[in-house]
Amino acid sequence: MTARDELLAAVAASVPASGRGRAVRVAVDGRDGAGNTVFADELAAVLRAGGRPVVRASGDGFHHPRAVRHRRGGRSAEGYWLDAYDHARLAAELLGPLGPGGSGWVRTAVHDVGTDAALDVAPVLVEPGAVLLLDGLFLHRDELVDFWDFSIYLQVDISVTFARMAVRDGTPPDPVDPVNARYAGAQRIYAAACDPATRAGLVIDNTALAAPRVLRARK
């Protein structure tokens, strides 16, 4: 096994056997470019290989429409922090139904950010004891933090995340470039308001993708 394989196996073993409701709700949080989606996909594969049912979802499926996201300006950091995601729909359609007393019927996405169109996704019934694995941004903010039965924060320096985003998206690699003001500024707001690394159950340094390492695990 590689160092990454070993860490993923250890994280999978740390996911609780049961949650407070119908499913175990797990967050994979981190800056843009920290590797949240890939890490969540890989963790899901390990959990499934171990026989655990997994429901995968992404915060990207719960964006507000563009008119709402950009109502404070296309480069507004405050706008990204306050308006990018529809946390009320995320709670109502996905997280709440899997909590105590929840119905178990969920929608895993409500908006296609690429086409800026609403999605009419049929609800699905999540089997008891399943793991909901949600990747995204700002998942430890006040509106969401109490939903998680287990949460992970991927700690990666902002210079590294923007270098990755430059390769992925063709954006400037410099975090202070005006093009990046919206995203870098929103992450600064998030860090100041919520300090997500202290709220997460597990903090992982995902700088070296081949060899991530645990920085802190809450006991």
Q: Residue 184: helix, strand or coil by DSSP?
A: helix
Q: At what angle do helices 158-169 and 181-194 cross, to 10 degrees?
A: 140
Pairing of strands 24-30, 150-155: parallel
CA gyration radius for the chain?
A: 17
Q: How confident is the model at residue 218 (pLDDT cuts 50, 70, 90)?
A: confident
pTM: 0.96
Q: 82 pLDDT exceeds 90? A: yes
Which stretch of DSSP H or E encloses residue 133? Answer: strand 131-136
For residue range 90-116, list pLDDT tens digits in order: 999 999 999 999 999 999 999 999 999
Q: 3-class SS at 57? A: strand
User: Using 50, 70 and 90 to split pLDDT, how confident is the model at 1?
Assistant: confident
Classify residue 100 by its DSSP letter: T
pLDDT(32) > 90: yes
**Cβ contacts of residue 51 below 8 Å, gap of 6+?**
none
Does the pLDDT at position 187 exceed 90?
A: yes
Q: Which domains does the chain have, with CATH numbers?
A: 3-210 (3.40.50.300)
pLDDT at residue 45, rounded to an integer: 98
Averaged confidence pLDDT in the chain: 97
Give residue-wise pLDDT tens across range 110-137.
999 999 999 998 999 999 999 999 999 9
> Residue 219 pLDDT more than 90?
no
